[in-house]
Chains A and B, each alone.
Chain A
Amino acid sequence: MDRRHLRQQVTYVRKSLFDQGYLDDQFMQLEDLQDDANPNFVEEIVASFYSDSARLIQNIEQALVSRPVDFGKLDDCMHQFKGSSSSIGAKKVNMECSQFREYCCAGNIEGCIRTFQQIKQEHATLRKKLENFFQLARQAGQAETA
């Protein structure tokens, strides 16, 4: 695949991530923090997010099955997770988190459980899409120096 084609693909993939609502402005903020001295900053932040969120997801899962349900704790756990996801611009994940918190405030455990499945799905989908995007970007970058 030639360099120009690769670069076009990267641009296209990136644009569709925003157009389809997977990412928001905050992701662009992170991209602006990248430079020649820190060329992989966004990828590093995303990697930190995914490794950290595994722990947060586990906390939420535990809080969801404990009885009696501690909605305060559930909300605290989700607050942490939502904070991180908003910091990387994970738009769909973030929206589901807001929904979760609404159910939490209403004391609706079924709503929480249902929404949490959505969150995990969006979380996993975004991970694959970002991995694909970063890989493409790397290929395009390597093609440039060839």
Chain B
Amino acid sequence: MARNGVVSMHWRSEKIDGFDLSPPDDEQVHVLAVDDSLVDRKVIERLLKISCCKVTAVDSGIRALQFLGLDEEKSSSVGFDDLKVDLIITDYCMPGMTGYELLKKIKESSTFREIPVVIMSSENVMARIDRCLEEGAEDFIVKPVKLSDVKRLRDYMTAREFRVKNQQIGNNNNIKNNNKRRLSARRNIWNGIVFVDDLLGMFA
């Protein structure tokens, strides 16, 4: 089976009958956090760690690509097996490469396009949110990020892993899911929370 950057599954395969509520350290959700702001990086790192995630925090899109091994021309699986990035959470406004550009690069990569990417932004702009969702972002969080945002992200990751383990992923669902995500995101924004996926979790 080709490794295609899909959510790390190796601990699931060991536990066929259901969730292990407290996975050992090496089986934690590994999040790559990207933010040019030192303060925000520290905060998101703490938020993720307190939510039992392993975190790698970098200060730019370029560094994120370097970490993933995507910045090189050679088709690299060198060291990839050790990375197992389960989620990428990135700021939108960054000098050099924006979060949107980083999102595009990740979605263009056959190795990493299955990794969910969440965008964070201090600006709650509908056009921006739409653009990110259309490009394949899993979610859009309005800053400042709160513990409740991260906890729900964590729950989403757990539910997603379970779904991926127990069913085939159909590519023909992507368009339908994108629309659902967009609708859900819009609704949640009007409700004052920007978080997608509560609906998606029901469509297993």
B-binding residues in A (CB < 8 A): 26, 29-30, 32-33, 35, 38, 41, 44-45, 48-49, 52, 79-80, 82-84, 86-89
Contacts and interface: CB of A to CB of B under 8 A. Distances in A.
A38 B178 CA distance: 40
B144 A45 contact: no
- Closest 9 A-B residue pairs measured CB to CB? A84-B39, A87-B144, A26-B144, A52-B38, A33-B46, A87-B39, A49-B39, A83-B122, A86-B144
15 contacts: A26-B144, A29-B144, A30-B43, A33-B43, A33-B50, A38-B46, A44-B42, A48-B39, A83-B143, A84-B37, A84-B38, A84-B39, A84-B40, A87-B39, A87-B40
A30 B50 CA distance: 12
A90 to B, nearest CB: 10
A87 B143 contact: yes
Interface in B125-163: 143-144, 146-147
A35 to B, nearest CB: 8
Interface in B43-82: 43, 46-47, 50
Nearest to B40: A87
Nearest to A89: B144
A36 B37 CA distance: 26
A60 B146 CA distance: 28
Contacts of A44: 42
Nearest to B146: A29
A53 B123 CA distance: 20
A60 to B, nearest CB: 15
Interface string B13-49: 0000000000000000000000011111011001100
Given A87-B143, A87-B144, A88-B39, 20 more contacts: A26-B146, A32-B147, A33-B46, A33-B50, A33-B147, A35-B50, A45-B39, A45-B43, A48-B38, A49-B39, A52-B37, A52-B38, A79-B122, A80-B36, A82-B122, A83-B122, A83-B143, A84-B38, A86-B122, A87-B39
Contacts of A45: 39, 42-43
B93 interface: yes
Interface of B: 36-40, 42-43, 46-47, 50, 93, 122, 143-144, 146-147
Taking each of A35, A44, A52, A80, which has the highest tally of chain B beta carbons within 10 Å of its own beta carbon? A80
A130 to B, nearest CB: 14
Nearest to B47: A33
A33 B122 CA distance: 21
Contacts of A30: 43
A83 B37 contact: yes
Given A29-B146, A29-B147, A80 B37 contact: yes
A49 B47 CA distance: 17
A33 B48 CA distance: 10
Contacts of A79: 93, 122
A86 B122 CA distance: 9
Contacts of A38: 46
Nearest to A32: B147
Taking each of B43, B93, B146, which has the highest tally of chain A beta carbons within 10 Å of its own beta carbon? B43
